[in-house]
Amino acid sequence: SIVIVGGNECMIRQYKDLADNFDVRLCGEFNCTAKVYPKTTSGLKSIGSPDLLVLFTNTVSHKMVRCALNETKGCNTKIARSHRSSMAALRSILEEHVS
């Protein structure tokens, strides 16, 4: 599964659509969905143990980054950081880490 932390709130649907299309390749026959957290909600307790954690560092607080990293500590989670939160940035991250 893929978790995206940060980004623009108005682009949540586009982030999910793009990540879900790549998620099909990652999860194979399973129907996985991406989670998007554009801002802090309840301390990010429902992240779980994703295969890929995408951090858009320009649009997220340091506290939220630390919280997301603490939630995935001890898991086999790949972490990708990007200063840009555009669709092109997300697409390049997914192409790099999902293939």
Taking alpha carbons only, the member of 1, 7, 5 closest to residue 68 is 5
For the chain of 99 residues, list the mean pLDDT of each consecutive stretch of 10. 86 84 55 74 72 88 87 88 90 81
Residues 59, 51: Cα–Cα separation, whole Å: 22
Q: Provide the pLDDT for residue 42.
A: 61
Q: Provide the pLDDT for residue 99.
A: 60
Q: Provide the pLDDT for residue 23.
A: 56
Whole-model pTM: value is: 0.82
Residues 76, 86: Cα–Cα separation, whole Å: 26
31 CB burial (10 A radius; 0-12, 13-18, 19+) = exposed
Q: Provide the pLDDT for residue 29.
A: 44
Residues 91, 51: Cα–Cα separation, whole Å: 16
Q: Provide the pLDDT for residue 27.
A: 53
Q: Which residues does 83 contact at the CB level (< 8 Å), separation at least 6?
A: 56, 57, 58
Taking alpha carbons only, the member of 61, 94, 63, 59 closest to residue 80 is 94
